[in-house]
Structure 1
């Protein structure tokens, strides 16, 4: 079950029940004072107005507005109410026009209140609220979300404003980039030219397997698939045999599965697959995992459902992965996603030979795993919603709104859920690495343990502070990228390490109960804001006691303790890159260098930062002796938007990541195609450092992902390019020194990849009805000689169009060549089930 409660006592049970109880209809009705507007009759619109460039802000700031309209027969009063909402970006607080005042409550949680000059809002009238962002806002996902109304007369009741929308971005000043030189939008013509690098290949030239195998030798004959399939396998391969029978449910052939030595390959995931017209199919793996991946290759080779020729071409494949760690990080903390969603992505990972789920279970906005003995972690830390009292639940975040039953704001995995997920992953040869964020990104835990402290203290318990995570006397001034000022675990408190030790021990127990090995826990480490701990009496006292000079030394102390806790259970510590780095100054600027203290500890650092100035950080850490996992934000972050168009979903703090950006990633030479200036002073991988690269992973944080379908849109098909890079060896274009030859090799390989996706891989998902609403990119359109040329990044996708400005449907005219008709031409691509993608349009009148 997906639990919402896990109380260990009557008191905590009552707290938990209160945390997830929705506001009864009668309570909401009573919350509206006599003669005041109802929330359901308020309309709120957000509009991006313009970008403003000044000498003080050459990169721009954004001016936006909220338009509030009273559609009720009662006024919005001059006093006694507040409008609450979330914003992913900072906003200038204070007077915002119309006599209203904007306040920041915590993080990205704001409220709008009437000031002395507000006279109320009469029925039928509108007011405008000016919102000023300190940076230029590009993505609509940065707009306010989850607005709700609270009256002072009923401060615990939040009433959602359902009539809320974002106005479209259509005017030049809304996307103005000033003198930055940045392109305001990607146009259909831009897309057409980018897509033109690959055309439609004949079916015989489309690569038959993804990820690309090491060695593939085609034969001359064909093996017919009939209803007379037989699968022979030893008992140890019962699960793999069951998968084989599932593949053959529409017709198969004799199949022999076995574990044995795959000549020339030591990887336990290596396999050999042969398909012969006379001898049938045989798969041998170095382990059950190798057999499993051989079956995934067989799945790829099977005819598409409904194919006219149900046969397999003869072939001999010998294959092994490039990296032992091929990961996908799924964040369920920022927005919760339940067990069935996790199962779905484990299935997809297995299909494309990814073998590690990095499970981001905790963050500032949610703690998503039941921990025995600490019920507040889920009774409070797993629940978001409105409350006027502290310690009841977390505040709304990312648009979760006032209702604590909101499916993305609230929820967690019970211990039974987690054990079930572990076993489901193990059956698919996927390791689960749980992540417990610390010392930053820990607000859910900090708040939950403070509530526990107050509850037990009020009850007279001597153990009230046993798991306390922050110093009540801390006056440190800091702000996280998510705008929090109270979210950090304090290393000056021994109770912090008691808490960490308890959580680690309980996670170890869960893996043991599941019968699933646990080798490491990801212990966080990223984005500790400057200034944290610096004015905490507890931390300062510890620094004096341990003779620590700086907060960087205190960081080392913290992870020295964390490492000892993890090692006690026979594990090694994993974490974000900062765990293996040390903050220092170079010419007055912050710089991360490899931390010499932990190079021999066996830390595994997941390196996300390859932004300007830090492009070589992963290589410097590997060269210094750290095991690393490559997770570069500019290539592998699936939450990054594909492009800068405001309506394109995703964030953009690190990069824009198109499919070809992922495909073009060269793990061992990030900067191969960079300019000489960008490479200047940057380190490459030494032979020693190269051996420290354990693998790579895609990363999906879910700030903008409230709906599981949004995961599909952001991750697919980009995750397929990640799978290709993680499994297959460097393609020829990646190692070719001649730029012209490399470009030609790249063009040929790229064409094969996108044709495989458009003609074979994604159609199989469609026809098998796997339920993956992958991103169907907008077509490219180019007006030339009075005709409209159309293409798509994935050759083989069906294109349909209209000429009257309406959105194309599955019944619209197919694009079979240049479109000669006049009008407002709109074109969309469609999957094999008739699902449309993003629409592109050009005026050809």
Structure 2
């Protein structure tokens, strides 16, 4: 948590010189080499600046032009041989001579070549003999063509590291500081192609869209909104001795409530079996009707929570916590817990609309510690989320210890400089082992000595993400995972582990090949026990992430032995702690189109197997998932969920729970979820256009995140219509209005199909989630819209969407976000004593100059707006239109003092 987000002194010194006398270099040591080491250890010390120059370089939007500017800091020249510059880049770099018309890739003419030492996003620049050496102090620009476009700084290549020839540099790479330059005012840099009509964010655009301030009632303080909220005369005071009485079956919930109250109230808080006289009572009321439903009464000097079940009692507790005044939480944050809390009199009756209310977290691309996961789970539980889809495996990392297969984590959880991948996976997404040692990359920026994980957290694009920030390495031990399961169980959250196969399996495939190499001479049988590929397979395929070697072979008995062992060990973790295993996610997504790829037809072992030799690739895929579902059912004793790709090709899997995700408007699969629900499948909505939380909030070069499916902000999640997704289809991802006629033939949800929608979840993919603070920035407040819609899936039929949105934004700004500023995880075991607050995104304010006066507003009314007329040297609070002259800067401020990025009006 403490590696965030202050400046990186060494990087700053290497790239631009140390201009601030207070910006002193760290003390030299094993993790912080002497500051002059780059110029004494290496022949030439480089920096790289990358800039997308022209997205309109060709008429078909197939590629764009960018520049890599190398600067040599010395001491010697960068010659025409003896060095290689490695980096990660999620765009495909065009081959020499590839392009259109007169715009073609011409690297050789610049004296370099760019190639891939391994599959994936890993590239290397090497000099040709014609390369003109770069002298000390000289800059050299290399023009490069790459696929598609780049309009956000997130698109930049990252993780540059250089190697030099010579014995003293053998097997060691040196970090090269990188920066990105992007001009938001240049249409060539911010327009994806001529059909891109989505404007770049501006203060004026935001000003026109932001809602007005509203006065709200008690119900607006609560999220998700309860179904019935009735004010009751009087108040209830909690102070002095506060006893919590509980009936059999909710003792743990009483302990949770006691811990939560102790965090915010200076009182003697105890819990005991109900015997009379308790001020707070927790009861079960089986006839409430709906699972997880509850009633909450605050009246006549006491508080009573009645739940249909223990989960219902728990959710009543979360609503009670939201009734506590925000001022009490703010005071507790400073260490001055109030001695009295006054609760408003109220009767609340509530129940969820969906049984599945979830969030998916990817830790395969970038790892998050168990502490970060636990804190997230507590916040999710506060908003009545009850499912946690844990994406534990992917091409870039295997994150769970599996007893008996140690190579999965000793190899498959590690990234670093190892082009041949003999001991670990190569770097991915610009990261390997974060800013720590152990990945064979020296001279990385040092981790900050200290940083408040919320106060110093990022708001927007973070340059450090180009320079090795991000846990590419890491895994959960058996003990870690069991702790997470216990923690989730206490909060009534089911953890759904994902083993993503047969694609997205490169970490597992390479780990098992490492195991084979390690054991083949000493124990051939054990070496081959869990092998996942046919070494003679000549099939050619490339995933969308540019991997050519990330498939598990479905024809091998050893593939199924591997999956059986993995599921057995996962199930053992749940059994060991008594946690429920709701489902195992079997993956199944993103195998490339068979129009121009071959999956397994080039495998001799497939052709030699009598059961598979005559099967097409589609048939092999379907057979694999029949067997995989059976392994999960018989070994894990549970049901299988997975991506809906599994049943795209005529597959019939009774009991399977599909997660339809690829509903991008205009791509053809918009109605998959409704097709499957109408067919009888129980469906978990996972639509990328509205529920992918890792996608950038909006089209602003300084917003982190991808945008391949859409830009996704809090409005996208809040206005999502689970039972009528076409109501969300107003504009496509390029900002072009969608003609309703284009969707008229899409499948609608039948009455029976509606019953088969289990629920929905927000999904957070981790390519750009490189720190705990960035995780929170992407997730919140977008996840609050998911929580609201999952609990209340039906939009009021008479409700005006604009009015409902305005009410929701006011609720967030006035009540919900200030509580998050002071949020402390309920800490039953003293795990997070000093961590308070959530790094949600503070929105940039809207602003316009009207008749010489600054007019400003903010997306979440209730947040403060500041303005400056001296380029940020001093700030004043904005309360009403004010006369200004010259350039004006504006920013929004949260109640904890965190501010948005600064927007400028000229």
1:691 equivalent among 755, 759, 766: 755
Tell me the C-alpha RMSD between the 2 structures: 2.6
Change in Cα spacing, 1:90 to 1:166, as seen in structure 2 (3 Å) is same
Structural mapping, 1:419-438, within 5 Å: 419-438=482-501
Task: Name the counterpart of 1:49.
Answer: 53
1:580 equivalent among 647, 657, 680: 647
What is the DSSP-based 3-state SS (H/G/I as helix, E as strand, rest coil) of the residue aligned with 2:652? helix
Change in Cα spacing, 1:429 to 1:671, as seen in structure 2 (3 Å) is same
Task: Name the counterpart of 1:644.
Answer: 699
Task: Name the counterpart of 2:804.
Answer: 749
Deviations 1:667-709 (A, max 9, x none): 0110135442232210111122112111100000010111111
Query: CA–CA distance in 2 between the matches of 1:716 and 1:548?
Result: 50
Task: Name the counterpart of 1:414.
Answer: 477
Contact 1:271 1:284 in 2 (8 A): yes
2:194 equivalent among 179, 182, 186: 179
Structure 1 unaligned regions, length at least 5: 2-22, 583-594, 737-741
Structure 2 unaligned regions, length at least 5: 2-28, 97-105, 270-277, 332-337, 440-467, 730-738, 825-835
Paired positions, count: 788
Query: CA–CA distance in 2 between the matches of 1:29 and 1:781?
Result: 44
Deviations 1:727-786 (A, max 9, x none): 124131xx34xxxxx5xx223322221111111111012134633110001111122222
Task: Name the counterpart of 2:294.
Answer: 271
Is residue 326 of structure 2 the alignment partner of residue 326 of structure 1? Answer: no
What is the DSSP-based 3-state SS (H/G/I as helix, E as strand, rest coil) of the residue aligned with 2:587? coil
Query: CA–CA distance in 1 between the matches of 2:714 and 2:32?
Result: 50
Task: Name the counterpart of 1:37.
Answer: 43
Is residue 139 of structure 2 the alignment partner of residue 126 of structure 1? Answer: yes
Task: Name the counterpart of 1:762.
Answer: 817
Deviations 1:223-246 (A, max 9, x none): 233334221113532322123223
TM-score normalised according to structure 1 size: 0.89
CA-CA distance at 1:645 after TM superposition: 1.6
Structural mapping, 1:669-748, within 5 Å: 669-672=724-727, 674=729, 675-732=739-796, 735-736=797-798, 742=799, 745-748=800-803
Contact 1:383 1:404 in 2 (8 A): no
What is the DSSP-based 3-state SS (H/G/I as helix, E as strand, rest coil) of the residue aligned with 1:672? helix
Task: Name the counterpart of 1:145.
Answer: 158
Structural mapping, 1:70-89, within 5 Å: 70-89=72-91
Query: CA–CA distance in 1 between the matches of 2:753 and 2:641?
Result: 18
Is residue 412 of structure 2 the alignment partner of residue 397 of structure 1? Answer: no
What is the DSSP-based 3-state SS (H/G/I as helix, E as strand, rest coil) of the residue aligned with 1:440? coil
Contact 2:721 2:728 in 1 (8 A): no
Query: CA–CA distance in 1 between the matches of 2:367 and 2:793?
Result: 35
CA-CA distance at 1:34 after TM superposition: 9.3
1:102 equivalent among 114, 119, 123: 114
CA-CA distance at 1:384 after TM superposition: 0.1
Task: Name the counterpart of 1:336.
Answer: 367
Deviations 1:559-595 (A, max 9, x none): 011011111132111111112221xxxxxxxxxxxx3
TM-score normalised according to structure 2 size: 0.83
Query: CA–CA distance in 2 between the matches of 1:748 and 1:262?
Result: 37
Contact 1:156 1:386 in 2 (8 A): no
Is residue 854 of structure 2 the alignment partner of residue 788 of structure 1? Answer: yes
| 751-760 or 29-38, which deviates more | 29-38
Change in Cα spacing, 1:24 to 1:80, as seen in structure 2 (3 Å) is farther
Deviations 1:586-636 (A, max 9, x none): xxxxxxxxx3522x2x00111111112211110001111211100100111
Structural mapping, 1:87-236, within 5 Å: 87-94=89-96, 96=107, 98-105=110-117, 106-154=119-167, 156-172=170-186, 173-195=188-210, 198-204=211-217, 207-234=220-247, 236=249
Contact 2:515 2:527 in 1 (8 A): yes
| 649-658 or 566-575, which deviates more | 566-575
| 681-690 or 301-310, which deviates more | 301-310
Task: Name the counterpart of 1:806.
Answer: 872
Contact 2:560 2:628 in 1 (8 A): yes
Change in Cα spacing, 1:34 to 1:420, as seen in structure 2 (3 Å) is closer
CA-CA distance at 1:110 after TM superposition: 0.3
Contact 2:298 2:347 in 1 (8 A): yes
1:280 equivalent among 302, 307, 313: 302
Contact 1:467 1:499 in 2 (8 A): yes
Change in Cα spacing, 1:25 to 1:764, as seen in structure 2 (3 Å) is closer
CA-CA distance at 1:540 after TM superposition: 4.2
| 693-702 or 561-570, which deviates more | 561-570
Query: CA–CA distance in 1 between the matches of 2:851 and 2:530?
Result: 72
Contact 2:721 2:795 in 1 (8 A): no
Change in Cα spacing, 1:410 to 1:817, as seen in structure 2 (3 Å) is same
| 322-331 or 148-157, which deviates more | 148-157
What is the DSSP-based 3-state SS (H/G/I as helix, E as strand, rest coil) of the residue aligned with 1:311? strand
1:606 equivalent among 659, 664, 669: 659
CA-CA distance at 1:460 after TM superposition: 4.5
